[in-house]
A and B are shown apart, each in its own frame.
Chain A
Protein backbone atom coordinates (compact mmCIF):
# COMPACT_ATOMS: atom_id res chain seq x y z
CA UNK A 1 0.00 0.00 0.00
CA UNK A 2 2.60 2.45 1.15
CA UNK A 3 4.76 1.52 -1.83
CA UNK A 4 1.98 2.03 -4.28
CA UNK A 5 0.82 5.46 -3.36
CA UNK A 6 3.84 7.53 -4.53
CA UNK A 7 3.59 5.79 -7.90
CA UNK A 8 -0.07 6.72 -8.14
CA UNK A 9 0.67 10.28 -7.21
CA UNK A 10 3.45 10.42 -9.78
CA UNK A 11 1.36 8.98 -12.59
CA UNK A 12 -1.37 11.36 -11.60
CA UNK A 13 0.98 14.29 -11.92
CA UNK A 14 2.40 13.21 -15.26
CA UNK A 15 -1.12 12.64 -16.57
CA UNK A 16 -2.09 16.07 -15.40
CA UNK A 17 0.82 17.59 -17.26
CA UNK A 18 0.04 15.68 -20.43
CA UNK A 19 -3.67 16.39 -20.57
CA UNK A 20 -3.32 19.09 -23.14
CA UNK A 21 -3.41 18.69 -26.92
CA UNK A 22 -0.41 21.04 -27.21
CA UNK A 23 3.15 19.82 -27.12
CA UNK A 24 5.21 21.22 -24.24
CA UNK A 25 7.96 23.79 -24.70
CA UNK A 26 10.89 21.39 -24.29
CA UNK A 27 9.72 18.61 -26.63
CA UNK A 28 8.67 21.29 -29.17
CA UNK A 29 12.12 22.81 -29.07
CA UNK A 30 13.70 19.39 -29.61
CA UNK A 31 11.40 18.66 -32.55
CA UNK A 32 12.14 22.03 -34.17
CA UNK A 33 15.89 22.06 -33.46
CA UNK A 34 17.21 20.09 -36.50
CA UNK A 35 14.95 22.14 -38.76
CA UNK A 36 16.19 25.42 -37.31
CA UNK A 37 19.83 24.31 -37.59
CA UNK A 38 19.32 23.38 -41.27
CA UNK A 39 17.63 26.72 -41.95
CA UNK A 40 20.39 28.60 -40.16
CA UNK A 41 23.14 26.91 -42.17
CA UNK A 42 21.53 26.60 -45.60
CA UNK A 43 19.08 29.51 -45.77
CA UNK A 44 20.01 32.27 -43.31
CA UNK A 45 23.80 32.01 -43.35
CA UNK A 46 24.07 32.05 -47.19
CA UNK A 47 22.34 35.44 -47.23
CA UNK A 48 24.55 36.71 -44.40
CA UNK A 49 27.60 35.57 -46.37
CA UNK A 50 26.20 37.17 -49.55
CA UNK A 51 25.72 40.49 -47.77
CA UNK A 52 29.18 40.22 -46.25
CA UNK A 53 30.85 39.70 -49.64
CA UNK A 54 28.78 42.36 -51.37
CA UNK A 55 28.95 45.10 -48.74
CA UNK A 56 31.53 44.42 -46.04
CA UNK A 57 34.57 42.96 -47.76
CA UNK A 58 37.72 45.01 -48.33
CA UNK A 59 37.26 48.00 -50.64
CA UNK A 60 33.57 47.24 -50.91
CA UNK A 61 32.50 50.85 -51.01
CA UNK A 62 34.64 51.80 -54.02
CA UNK A 63 33.52 48.64 -55.75
CA UNK A 64 29.85 49.47 -55.09
CA UNK A 65 30.32 52.96 -56.54
CA UNK A 66 32.01 51.44 -59.58
CA UNK A 67 29.23 48.85 -59.97
CA UNK A 68 26.46 51.42 -59.81
CA UNK A 69 28.18 53.92 -62.12
CA UNK A 70 28.59 51.25 -64.81
CA UNK A 71 25.68 52.00 -67.11
CA UNK A 72 25.60 48.46 -68.54
CA UNK A 73 24.83 47.11 -65.05
CA UNK A 74 21.97 49.56 -64.75
CA UNK A 75 20.61 48.52 -68.14
CA UNK A 76 20.75 44.89 -67.04
CA UNK A 77 18.80 45.63 -63.85
CA UNK A 78 16.22 47.70 -65.68
CA UNK A 79 15.73 45.05 -68.37
CA UNK A 80 15.29 42.36 -65.72
CA UNK A 81 12.58 44.28 -63.86
CA UNK A 82 10.80 45.42 -67.04
CA UNK A 83 10.76 41.90 -68.49
CA UNK A 84 9.65 40.46 -65.12
CA UNK A 85 6.78 42.99 -65.04
CA UNK A 86 5.73 42.13 -68.61
CA UNK A 87 5.85 38.40 -67.84
CA UNK A 88 3.84 38.99 -64.65
CA UNK A 89 1.13 40.98 -66.41
CA UNK A 90 0.77 38.43 -69.23
CA UNK A 91 0.73 35.51 -66.78
CA UNK A 92 -1.83 37.11 -64.46
CA UNK A 93 -4.20 38.23 -67.25
CA UNK A 94 -4.02 34.95 -69.17
CA UNK A 95 -3.92 32.90 -65.98
CA UNK A 96 -6.94 34.80 -64.62
CA UNK A 97 -8.92 34.14 -67.77
CA UNK A 98 -7.94 30.45 -67.71
CA UNK A 99 -8.84 30.10 -64.01
CA UNK A 100 -12.17 31.89 -64.44
CA UNK A 101 -13.07 29.86 -67.54
CA UNK A 102 -12.23 26.66 -65.67
CA UNK A 103 -14.62 27.73 -62.90
CA UNK A 104 -17.49 28.79 -65.13
CA UNK A 105 -17.36 26.66 -68.28
CA UNK A 106 -19.68 23.70 -68.69
CA UNK A 107 -17.84 22.31 -71.72
CA UNK A 108 -15.76 19.31 -70.79
CA UNK A 109 -13.35 19.75 -73.75
CA UNK A 110 -12.50 23.30 -72.61
CA UNK A 111 -11.99 22.07 -69.04
CA UNK A 112 -9.78 19.26 -70.29
CA UNK A 113 -7.62 21.58 -72.40
CA UNK A 114 -7.15 24.06 -69.56
CA UNK A 115 -6.34 21.37 -67.00
CA UNK A 116 -3.84 19.81 -69.41
CA UNK A 117 -2.14 23.14 -70.03
CA UNK A 118 -1.80 23.65 -66.25
CA UNK A 119 -0.63 20.14 -65.36
CA UNK A 120 1.55 18.93 -68.24
CA UNK A 121 4.23 21.66 -67.77
CA UNK A 122 4.70 20.48 -64.16
CA UNK A 123 5.64 17.03 -65.42
CA UNK A 124 8.41 18.35 -67.66
CA UNK A 125 11.89 19.28 -66.58
CA UNK A 126 12.81 22.96 -66.87
CA UNK A 127 15.87 22.35 -69.03
CA UNK A 128 14.06 20.07 -71.48
CA UNK A 129 11.30 22.68 -71.78
CA UNK A 130 13.91 25.28 -72.69
CA UNK A 131 15.43 22.86 -75.16
CA UNK A 132 12.02 22.50 -76.81
CA UNK A 133 11.73 26.30 -77.09
CA UNK A 134 15.17 26.42 -78.68
CA UNK A 135 14.01 23.89 -81.28
CA UNK A 136 10.84 25.89 -81.89
CA UNK A 137 12.45 29.33 -82.19
CA UNK A 138 15.89 28.78 -83.74
CA UNK A 139 16.68 29.96 -87.27
CA UNK A 140 16.28 26.44 -88.61
CA UNK A 141 13.46 25.68 -86.17
CA UNK A 142 9.77 24.91 -86.18
CA UNK A 143 8.39 28.43 -86.67
CA UNK A 144 10.84 29.47 -89.37
CA UNK A 145 10.52 26.18 -91.26
CA UNK A 146 6.75 26.47 -91.15
CA UNK A 147 6.81 30.04 -92.46
CA UNK A 148 9.23 29.16 -95.27
CA UNK A 149 7.29 26.03 -96.27
CA UNK A 150 4.05 27.99 -96.24
CA UNK A 151 5.66 30.53 -98.57
CA UNK A 152 5.20 33.43 -96.15
CA UNK A 153 8.94 33.90 -95.70
CA UNK A 154 11.90 33.73 -98.09
CA UNK A 155 14.54 31.16 -97.18
CA UNK A 156 17.18 33.90 -96.88
CA UNK A 157 15.11 36.12 -94.61
CA UNK A 158 14.48 33.69 -91.75
CA UNK A 159 13.51 35.45 -88.51
CA UNK A 160 15.93 35.75 -85.62
CA UNK A 161 13.51 34.58 -82.92
CA UNK A 162 16.08 33.23 -80.50
CA UNK A 163 18.57 35.10 -78.31
CA UNK A 164 16.47 38.21 -77.74
CA UNK A 165 14.02 39.60 -75.20
CA UNK A 166 11.01 38.11 -76.98
CA UNK A 167 12.38 34.59 -76.64
CA UNK A 168 13.00 35.17 -72.92
CA UNK A 169 9.46 36.49 -72.41
CA UNK A 170 7.99 33.50 -74.24
CA UNK A 171 10.07 31.05 -72.23
CA UNK A 172 9.26 32.72 -68.91
CA UNK A 173 5.52 33.01 -69.60
CA UNK A 174 5.36 29.34 -70.55
CA UNK A 175 6.71 28.54 -67.07
CA UNK A 176 4.92 31.18 -64.99
CA UNK A 177 1.47 30.82 -66.60
CA UNK A 178 0.67 27.37 -65.15
CA UNK A 179 2.17 28.54 -61.86
CA UNK A 180 -0.11 31.60 -61.80
CA UNK A 181 -3.31 29.70 -62.60
CA UNK A 182 -3.35 27.56 -59.44
CA UNK A 183 -3.44 30.37 -56.82
CA UNK A 184 -5.86 32.32 -59.01
CA UNK A 185 -8.15 29.29 -59.00
CA UNK A 186 -7.97 29.36 -55.20
CA UNK A 187 -8.74 33.10 -55.23
CA UNK A 188 -11.79 32.54 -57.43
CA UNK A 189 -12.98 29.41 -55.66
CA UNK A 190 -14.79 31.24 -52.84
CA UNK A 191 -16.74 33.51 -55.21
CA UNK A 192 -20.39 32.57 -55.47
CA UNK A 193 -21.43 32.45 -59.13
CA UNK A 194 -24.97 33.48 -58.10
CA UNK A 195 -23.64 36.97 -57.33
CA UNK A 196 -22.46 37.29 -60.93
CA UNK A 197 -25.80 36.00 -62.19
CA UNK A 198 -27.58 38.49 -59.94
CA UNK A 199 -25.52 41.35 -61.37
CA UNK A 200 -26.35 40.22 -64.88
CA UNK A 201 -30.01 39.86 -63.90
CA UNK A 202 -29.92 43.46 -62.74
CA UNK A 203 -28.71 44.49 -66.18
CA UNK A 204 -24.92 44.44 -65.97
CA UNK A 205 -23.10 43.11 -69.01
CA UNK A 206 -20.89 40.04 -68.46
CA UNK A 207 -17.71 42.12 -68.62
CA UNK A 208 -19.08 44.72 -66.20
CA UNK A 209 -20.18 41.99 -63.80
CA UNK A 210 -16.69 40.50 -63.86
CA UNK A 211 -14.89 43.84 -63.50
CA UNK A 212 -17.05 45.21 -60.70
CA UNK A 213 -17.90 42.00 -58.80
CA UNK A 214 -15.42 39.21 -59.41
CA UNK A 215 -12.17 41.17 -59.50
CA UNK A 216 -12.84 43.19 -56.30
CA UNK A 217 -13.73 39.97 -54.47
CA UNK A 218 -10.62 38.18 -55.72
CA UNK A 219 -8.23 41.12 -55.49
CA UNK A 220 -6.27 39.96 -52.40
CA UNK A 221 -5.55 36.62 -54.06
CA UNK A 222 -4.72 38.31 -57.36
CA UNK A 223 -2.28 40.70 -55.66
CA UNK A 224 -0.59 37.90 -53.73
CA UNK A 225 -0.18 35.90 -56.96
CA UNK A 226 1.09 38.96 -58.84
CA UNK A 227 3.72 39.56 -56.18
CA UNK A 228 4.85 35.93 -56.23
CA UNK A 229 5.06 35.73 -60.01
CA UNK A 230 7.05 38.99 -60.18
CA UNK A 231 9.54 37.94 -57.51
CA UNK A 232 10.04 34.48 -59.03
CA UNK A 233 10.39 35.99 -62.53
CA UNK A 234 13.15 38.31 -61.35
CA UNK A 235 15.05 35.24 -60.11
CA UNK A 236 14.90 33.22 -63.35
CA UNK A 237 18.30 31.86 -64.25
CA UNK A 238 18.30 29.23 -66.99
CA UNK A 239 15.64 30.81 -69.19
CA UNK A 240 17.49 34.12 -69.80
CA UNK A 241 20.84 32.32 -70.11
CA UNK A 242 19.57 29.72 -72.61
CA UNK A 243 16.92 31.61 -74.59
CA UNK A 244 18.48 35.06 -74.25
CA UNK A 245 22.08 33.96 -74.59
CA UNK A 246 24.95 34.36 -72.13
CA UNK A 247 25.57 37.98 -73.13
CA UNK A 248 21.91 39.00 -72.92
CA UNK A 249 21.13 41.97 -70.64
CA UNK A 250 19.60 40.01 -67.75
CA UNK A 251 20.76 39.70 -64.16
CA UNK A 252 20.86 35.91 -64.64
CA UNK A 253 23.31 36.22 -67.54
CA UNK A 254 25.30 38.90 -65.71
CA UNK A 255 25.64 36.61 -62.69
CA UNK A 256 26.51 33.64 -64.90
CA UNK A 257 29.26 35.61 -66.65
CA UNK A 258 30.63 37.10 -63.45
CA UNK A 259 30.83 33.69 -61.77
CA UNK A 260 31.97 31.46 -64.64
CA UNK A 261 33.76 33.79 -67.08
CA UNK A 262 35.27 36.65 -65.06
CA UNK A 263 35.40 34.89 -61.66
CA UNK A 264 34.18 38.19 -60.18
CA UNK A 265 32.27 36.85 -57.18
CA UNK A 266 31.76 40.28 -55.66
CA UNK A 267 29.88 41.57 -58.71
CA UNK A 268 27.74 38.41 -58.66
CA UNK A 269 27.06 38.90 -54.95
CA UNK A 270 26.03 42.55 -55.44
CA UNK A 271 23.66 41.62 -58.28
CA UNK A 272 22.16 38.78 -56.24
CA UNK A 273 21.78 41.04 -53.21
CA UNK A 274 19.94 43.65 -55.28
CA UNK A 275 17.52 40.91 -56.37
CA UNK A 276 17.02 39.79 -52.75
CA UNK A 277 16.42 43.35 -51.54
CA UNK A 278 13.93 44.17 -54.29
CA UNK A 279 12.15 40.85 -53.75
CA UNK A 280 11.97 41.49 -49.99
CA UNK A 281 10.51 44.94 -50.60
CA UNK A 282 7.84 43.48 -52.90
CA UNK A 283 7.03 40.76 -50.35
CA UNK A 284 6.87 43.31 -47.52
CA UNK A 285 4.53 45.45 -49.59
CA UNK A 286 2.33 42.43 -50.23
CA UNK A 287 2.35 41.66 -46.49
CA UNK A 288 1.11 45.17 -45.77
CA UNK A 289 -1.54 45.10 -48.49
CA UNK A 290 -2.95 41.56 -48.41
CA UNK A 291 -1.49 39.94 -45.28
CA UNK A 292 0.62 36.84 -44.66
CA UNK A 293 -2.25 34.37 -44.87
CA UNK A 294 -3.04 35.31 -48.50
CA UNK A 295 0.58 34.92 -49.51
CA UNK A 296 0.72 31.52 -47.84
CA UNK A 297 -2.45 30.52 -49.73
CA UNK A 298 -0.98 31.74 -53.02
CA UNK A 299 1.98 29.39 -52.48
CA UNK A 300 -0.39 26.41 -52.68
Chain B
Protein backbone atom coordinates (compact mmCIF):
# COMPACT_ATOMS: atom_id res chain seq x y z
CA UNK B 1 0.00 0.00 0.00
CA UNK B 2 2.60 2.44 1.15
CA UNK B 3 5.05 1.42 -1.58
CA UNK B 4 2.51 2.04 -4.35
CA UNK B 5 1.74 5.53 -3.07
CA UNK B 6 5.43 6.33 -3.01
CA UNK B 7 5.74 4.97 -6.50
CA UNK B 8 2.72 6.95 -7.67
CA UNK B 9 4.03 10.06 -5.99
CA UNK B 10 7.43 9.89 -7.61
CA UNK B 11 5.90 9.22 -11.03
CA UNK B 12 3.65 12.21 -10.57
CA UNK B 13 6.46 14.49 -9.50
CA UNK B 14 8.57 13.31 -12.41
CA UNK B 15 5.82 14.09 -14.90
CA UNK B 16 5.40 17.44 -13.20
CA UNK B 17 9.08 18.08 -13.67
CA UNK B 18 8.89 17.23 -17.34
CA UNK B 19 5.83 19.42 -17.70
CA UNK B 20 7.47 22.37 -15.97
CA UNK B 21 10.60 21.91 -18.08
CA UNK B 22 8.48 22.07 -21.21
CA UNK B 23 6.46 25.05 -20.03
CA UNK B 24 9.65 26.93 -19.16
CA UNK B 25 10.89 26.26 -22.67
CA UNK B 26 7.59 27.41 -24.14
CA UNK B 27 7.66 30.61 -22.07
CA UNK B 28 11.25 31.20 -23.18
CA UNK B 29 10.36 30.70 -26.82
CA UNK B 30 7.32 32.98 -26.53
CA UNK B 31 9.39 35.67 -24.78
CA UNK B 32 12.04 35.45 -27.46
CA UNK B 33 9.45 35.88 -30.21
CA UNK B 34 7.96 38.84 -28.32
CA UNK B 35 11.33 40.54 -27.90
CA UNK B 36 12.21 39.96 -31.55
CA UNK B 37 8.83 41.34 -32.59
CA UNK B 38 9.25 44.49 -30.48
CA UNK B 39 12.82 45.01 -31.71
CA UNK B 40 11.70 44.65 -35.32
CA UNK B 41 8.81 47.02 -34.66
CA UNK B 42 11.16 49.63 -33.25
CA UNK B 43 13.80 49.39 -35.95
CA UNK B 44 12.15 48.31 -39.19
CA UNK B 45 8.69 49.89 -39.08
CA UNK B 46 9.94 53.45 -39.84
CA UNK B 47 11.74 52.16 -42.93
CA UNK B 48 8.65 50.26 -44.10
CA UNK B 49 6.45 53.34 -43.53
CA UNK B 50 8.76 55.56 -45.60
CA UNK B 51 9.03 53.08 -48.47
CA UNK B 52 5.31 52.28 -48.57
CA UNK B 53 4.16 55.91 -48.32
CA UNK B 54 6.56 56.93 -51.10
CA UNK B 55 4.08 55.18 -53.41
CA UNK B 56 1.26 57.51 -52.37
CA UNK B 57 -0.25 59.45 -55.27
CA UNK B 58 -1.30 62.43 -53.12
CA UNK B 59 0.02 65.93 -53.71
CA UNK B 60 0.10 66.62 -49.99
CA UNK B 61 1.07 64.32 -47.18
CA UNK B 62 -2.26 62.67 -46.43
CA UNK B 63 -2.49 59.57 -44.35
CA UNK B 64 -3.75 57.07 -45.34
CA UNK B 65 -3.33 57.97 -49.04
CA UNK B 66 -6.48 57.59 -51.12
CA UNK B 67 -4.57 56.59 -54.21
CA UNK B 68 -1.32 54.71 -54.78
CA UNK B 69 1.13 55.03 -57.64
CA UNK B 70 4.46 56.46 -58.82
CA UNK B 71 3.53 60.15 -58.70
CA UNK B 72 6.31 61.07 -56.24
CA UNK B 73 8.97 59.42 -58.36
CA UNK B 74 7.61 61.03 -61.54
CA UNK B 75 7.61 64.55 -60.07
CA UNK B 76 11.09 64.10 -58.59
CA UNK B 77 12.78 66.02 -61.41
CA UNK B 78 10.64 69.12 -60.68
CA UNK B 79 11.29 69.12 -56.93
CA UNK B 80 14.07 71.68 -57.27
CA UNK B 81 14.12 72.63 -53.56
CA UNK B 82 14.79 69.05 -52.49
CA UNK B 83 17.19 68.26 -55.31
CA UNK B 84 19.16 71.36 -54.35
CA UNK B 85 19.19 70.16 -50.73
CA UNK B 86 20.48 66.75 -51.83
CA UNK B 87 23.18 68.46 -53.91
CA UNK B 88 24.22 70.61 -50.94
CA UNK B 89 24.39 67.57 -48.66
CA UNK B 90 26.35 65.63 -51.24
CA UNK B 91 28.86 68.44 -51.80
CA UNK B 92 29.44 69.00 -48.10
CA UNK B 93 29.71 65.28 -47.37
CA UNK B 94 32.19 64.50 -50.16
CA UNK B 95 34.39 67.50 -49.25
CA UNK B 96 34.30 66.58 -45.57
CA UNK B 97 35.11 62.92 -46.23
CA UNK B 98 38.07 63.82 -48.47
CA UNK B 99 39.35 66.29 -45.92
CA UNK B 100 38.98 63.75 -43.11
CA UNK B 101 41.10 61.22 -44.99
CA UNK B 102 43.77 63.76 -45.98
CA UNK B 103 44.19 65.00 -42.41
CA UNK B 104 43.43 61.98 -40.25
CA UNK B 105 45.11 59.12 -42.16
CA UNK B 106 48.68 60.52 -41.81
CA UNK B 107 47.86 61.25 -38.18
CA UNK B 108 46.56 57.71 -37.62
CA UNK B 109 49.77 56.30 -39.15
CA UNK B 110 51.97 58.54 -37.00
CA UNK B 111 49.95 57.78 -33.87
CA UNK B 112 50.32 54.07 -34.56
CA UNK B 113 53.91 53.90 -35.83
CA UNK B 114 55.59 57.10 -34.75
CA UNK B 115 56.91 58.75 -31.62
CA UNK B 116 54.15 61.20 -30.78
CA UNK B 117 54.08 63.17 -27.58
CA UNK B 118 50.66 62.97 -25.91
CA UNK B 119 49.40 60.08 -28.02
CA UNK B 120 46.60 59.21 -25.58
CA UNK B 121 45.36 62.79 -25.31
CA UNK B 122 45.35 63.30 -29.08
CA UNK B 123 43.49 60.03 -29.67
CA UNK B 124 41.01 60.90 -26.92
CA UNK B 125 40.34 64.33 -28.38
CA UNK B 126 39.98 62.77 -31.82
CA UNK B 127 37.33 60.34 -30.56
CA UNK B 128 35.49 63.01 -28.53
CA UNK B 129 32.98 64.07 -31.22
CA UNK B 130 31.68 60.50 -31.33
CA UNK B 131 31.41 60.06 -27.55
CA UNK B 132 30.27 63.43 -26.22
CA UNK B 133 26.55 64.36 -26.18
CA UNK B 134 25.70 65.58 -29.68
CA UNK B 135 23.65 68.62 -28.73
CA UNK B 136 26.36 69.86 -26.34
CA UNK B 137 29.00 69.61 -29.08
CA UNK B 138 26.67 71.40 -31.49
CA UNK B 139 26.10 74.29 -29.06
CA UNK B 140 29.85 74.54 -28.35
CA UNK B 141 30.69 74.70 -32.06
CA UNK B 142 27.86 77.20 -32.62
CA UNK B 143 29.43 79.56 -30.06
CA UNK B 144 32.69 79.48 -32.05
CA UNK B 145 30.82 80.06 -35.33
CA UNK B 146 29.06 83.06 -33.80
CA UNK B 147 32.35 84.45 -32.52
CA UNK B 148 34.00 84.02 -35.94
CA UNK B 149 30.82 85.22 -37.74
CA UNK B 150 30.90 82.07 -39.84
CA UNK B 151 27.36 80.76 -39.36
CA UNK B 152 26.20 79.40 -42.71
CA UNK B 153 29.70 79.29 -44.24
CA UNK B 154 29.98 76.06 -46.26
CA UNK B 155 33.77 75.96 -45.83
CA UNK B 156 33.52 76.08 -42.05
CA UNK B 157 30.75 73.51 -42.02
CA UNK B 158 32.99 71.20 -44.06
CA UNK B 159 35.82 71.74 -41.55
CA UNK B 160 33.56 70.83 -38.63
CA UNK B 161 32.13 67.82 -40.47
CA UNK B 162 35.68 66.66 -41.21
CA UNK B 163 36.65 66.92 -37.52
CA UNK B 164 33.37 65.22 -36.66
CA UNK B 165 34.33 62.25 -38.87
CA UNK B 166 37.88 61.84 -37.47
CA UNK B 167 36.74 59.04 -35.12
CA UNK B 168 35.87 56.80 -38.09
CA UNK B 169 39.41 57.10 -39.46
CA UNK B 170 40.99 56.60 -36.03
CA UNK B 171 38.87 53.50 -35.40
CA UNK B 172 38.91 51.86 -38.84
CA UNK B 173 42.39 52.81 -40.08
CA UNK B 174 43.85 52.48 -36.57
CA UNK B 175 42.56 48.92 -36.25
CA UNK B 176 43.79 48.04 -39.73
CA UNK B 177 47.26 49.40 -38.88
CA UNK B 178 47.43 47.13 -35.86
CA UNK B 179 46.96 44.15 -38.17
CA UNK B 180 49.73 45.11 -40.60
CA UNK B 181 53.08 43.77 -39.35
CA UNK B 182 55.60 46.57 -38.90
CA UNK B 183 58.31 44.21 -40.13
CA UNK B 184 56.94 44.24 -43.67
CA UNK B 185 58.47 47.69 -44.17
CA UNK B 186 61.81 46.40 -42.87
CA UNK B 187 61.68 43.62 -45.43
CA UNK B 188 61.08 46.15 -48.19
CA UNK B 189 63.99 48.20 -46.87
CA UNK B 190 66.35 45.20 -46.92
CA UNK B 191 65.40 44.90 -50.58
CA UNK B 192 66.57 48.46 -51.16
CA UNK B 193 63.49 50.63 -50.63
CA UNK B 194 63.83 53.89 -48.75
CA UNK B 195 61.85 54.36 -45.55
CA UNK B 196 59.26 56.61 -47.18
CA UNK B 197 58.96 54.34 -50.21
CA UNK B 198 58.48 51.33 -47.95
CA UNK B 199 55.76 53.16 -46.03
CA UNK B 200 53.94 54.27 -49.17
CA UNK B 201 54.23 51.01 -51.09
CA UNK B 202 53.63 48.60 -48.24
CA UNK B 203 51.69 50.12 -45.36
CA UNK B 204 49.64 52.73 -47.22
CA UNK B 205 48.84 50.30 -50.01
CA UNK B 206 47.65 47.72 -47.48
CA UNK B 207 45.51 50.44 -45.91
CA UNK B 208 43.60 51.25 -49.09
CA UNK B 209 40.51 49.22 -48.22
CA UNK B 210 40.39 50.56 -44.67
CA UNK B 211 40.70 54.11 -46.01
CA UNK B 212 37.89 53.47 -48.49
CA UNK B 213 35.70 52.12 -45.68
CA UNK B 214 36.50 55.13 -43.48
CA UNK B 215 35.71 57.43 -46.42
CA UNK B 216 32.28 55.88 -46.87
CA UNK B 217 31.46 56.03 -43.14
CA UNK B 218 32.63 59.66 -43.00
CA UNK B 219 30.53 60.44 -46.07
CA UNK B 220 27.38 58.79 -44.71
CA UNK B 221 27.72 60.43 -41.29
CA UNK B 222 28.20 63.88 -42.87
CA UNK B 223 25.41 63.37 -45.39
CA UNK B 224 22.99 62.42 -42.62
CA UNK B 225 24.25 64.97 -40.06
CA UNK B 226 21.21 66.72 -38.63
CA UNK B 227 22.12 68.27 -35.25
CA UNK B 228 25.13 70.48 -36.03
CA UNK B 229 23.59 71.85 -39.22
CA UNK B 230 20.52 73.22 -37.39
CA UNK B 231 22.90 75.48 -35.43
CA UNK B 232 25.87 76.21 -37.68
CA UNK B 233 24.08 76.10 -41.05
CA UNK B 234 22.02 79.21 -40.32
CA UNK B 235 18.95 79.81 -42.48
CA UNK B 236 20.87 79.76 -45.77
CA UNK B 237 22.64 76.42 -45.85
CA UNK B 238 19.88 73.84 -46.38
CA UNK B 239 21.03 70.23 -46.46
CA UNK B 240 18.58 67.38 -46.92
CA UNK B 241 18.24 66.64 -43.15
CA UNK B 242 17.90 70.38 -42.44
CA UNK B 243 15.22 70.71 -45.13
CA UNK B 244 13.26 67.80 -43.67
CA UNK B 245 13.60 69.24 -40.15
CA UNK B 246 12.32 72.65 -41.32
CA UNK B 247 9.42 71.12 -43.21
CA UNK B 248 8.31 68.90 -40.33
CA UNK B 249 6.37 71.76 -38.80
CA UNK B 250 4.94 73.17 -42.01
CA UNK B 251 3.69 69.83 -43.34
CA UNK B 252 5.84 67.73 -45.57
CA UNK B 253 6.04 67.35 -49.30
CA UNK B 254 5.69 63.59 -50.02
CA UNK B 255 8.42 63.85 -52.68
CA UNK B 256 10.86 63.64 -49.75
CA UNK B 257 9.69 60.08 -49.15
CA UNK B 258 10.64 59.12 -52.71
CA UNK B 259 14.05 60.79 -52.32
CA UNK B 260 14.56 59.07 -48.96
CA UNK B 261 13.64 55.69 -50.40
CA UNK B 262 16.13 56.06 -53.24
CA UNK B 263 18.83 57.27 -50.83
CA UNK B 264 18.13 54.35 -48.50
CA UNK B 265 18.90 51.89 -51.31
CA UNK B 266 22.08 53.81 -52.20
CA UNK B 267 23.24 54.03 -48.59
CA UNK B 268 22.51 50.34 -48.10
CA UNK B 269 24.73 49.41 -51.05
CA UNK B 270 27.48 51.83 -49.98
CA UNK B 271 27.40 50.57 -46.40
CA UNK B 272 27.52 46.94 -47.54
CA UNK B 273 30.56 47.61 -49.74
CA UNK B 274 32.26 49.62 -46.97
CA UNK B 275 31.66 46.89 -44.40
CA UNK B 276 33.18 44.38 -46.82
CA UNK B 277 36.27 46.58 -47.24
CA UNK B 278 36.49 47.08 -43.52
CA UNK B 279 36.30 43.39 -42.68
CA UNK B 280 38.86 42.68 -45.41
CA UNK B 281 41.28 45.24 -44.00
CA UNK B 282 41.03 44.13 -40.39
CA UNK B 283 41.10 40.41 -40.92
Spell out A's residues near B (CB within 8 Å): 18-19, 21-25, 27-29, 31-32, 34-36, 38-39, 41-47, 49-50, 53, 94, 97-98, 101, 110, 113-114, 116-136, 138, 140-142, 145, 170, 173-174, 177-178, 205-207, 228, 231-232, 234-238, 242, 251-252, 255, 259, 265, 268-269, 271-273, 275-276, 279, 283, 292, 295-296, 299-300
- Chain A interface SS verdict (over half): helix
Bound form: Cα–Cα A204–B58 in Å: 59
A119 CA to B272 CA in the complex, in Å? 9
Number of interface residues of B (CB under 8 A): 93
Task: Verify A134–B248 contact, CB threshold 8 A.
Answer: yes
**Which listed residue, A23, A38, A101, A178, touches B36 by the CB 8 Å rule?**
A101
> How far is B158's CA from A59's CA once the two chains are assembled, in angstroms?
35
Query: A43's contact among B129, B241, B252, by CB below 8 Å, is which?
Result: B129
In this complex, what residue of B is CB-closest to A234?
A: B133
Q: Are A237 and B245 in contact (CB under 8 A)?
A: no
| B63, A117: Cβ atoms closer than 8 Å | no
Q: Top 8 A-B pairs ranked by shortest CB distance?
A: A235-B133, A28-B114, A35-B107, A21-B182, A46-B140, A132-B46, A23-B114, A31-B110
Contacts of A268 in B (CB 8 A): 139
Residue of A nearest to B48 (CB): A132
The verdict on B135 contacting chain A, using a C-beta distance below 8 Å, is yes
Chain A residues, Cβ within 8 Å of B45: 132, 136
Of the candidates A24, A123, A207, A279, the one whose C-beta lies within 8 Å of that of B115 is A24
A132 and B49 contacting across the interface, CB-CB below 8 Å: yes
Nearest-Cβ distance from residue B227 to partner chain A, whole angstroms: 4
Supply 8 further A-B pairs (C-beta < 8 A) apart from A131-B244, A135-B61. Answer: A18-B195, A32-B122, A117-B42, A121-B43, A127-B248, A130-B248, A231-B131, A237-B227
- Pairwise interchain contact B47-A205, C-beta atoms closer than 8 A: no
Nearest CB in chain B to that of A146: its residue: B64
Tell me if B83 is interfacial: C-beta within 8 Å of chain A.
Answer: no
Bound-state CA distance A296–B111 (Å) is 15
Bound: A51/B268 CA distance, A = 40
Q: List 6 A-B contacts (CB under 8 A).
A: A49-B140, A101-B32, A122-B220, A123-B265, A242-B248, A268-B139
Query: For A97, what are the chain B residues with a Cβ–Cβ distance below 8 Å?
Result: 32, 35, 39
CB-based contact A128/B256 at 8 Å = yes
Query: Cβ of B171: which chain A residues have Cβ within 8 Å of it?
Result: 296, 299-300
A59: min CB distance to chain B, Å:
18
